[in-house]
Amino acid sequence: MVLAKVMGTVLSTAKVPSLLGKTFVLCRPVESKEESDLWEASSSGTFVAVDLVGAPEGSLVMINTGSAAKEMSGAPVDAVVSGIVDYAVVGGKRVAVE
């Protein structure tokens, strides 16, 4: 699993039948800032995922990839949003996401 920030939505009017009715979101992995309790979206690695939970833009989400994504979505995809993160605790401290 990967933690990522939802950067926006992706609209696709033409797609294979198994993707009909699916919602797509643009995601970016998050990484911790040095010497800080903040996490921020990485400057690289943006990808598209099928949103299975209705994650709003700006939210921190859990991403499943590979065969788990295909199994969860029932479609030929590489990544799915499988959960919305309320917060994370690192080193006993609650961390924020920018």
CATH of the domain at 45: 2.40.50.220
89 vs 75: which has the higher pLDDT: 75
Tokens representing 85 are 């993160």
Whether the predicted pLDDT of 48 surpasses 90:
yes
The distance of Cα 17 from the centroid of its chain, to the nearest Å, equals 23
The answer to whether residues 21 and 75 touch, using CB atoms and an 8 Å cutoff, is no
Residue 39 or residue 69, greater confidence:
69
pLDDT for 77: 94
Q: How many domains does the chain have?
A: 1
Confidence band for 45, pLDDT divided at 50, 70 and 90: confident
Rounded (10°) CA dihedral 68, 72, 74, 79: -60
pLDDT at 8: 96
Q: Which domain holds residue 36?
A: 2-12+20-97
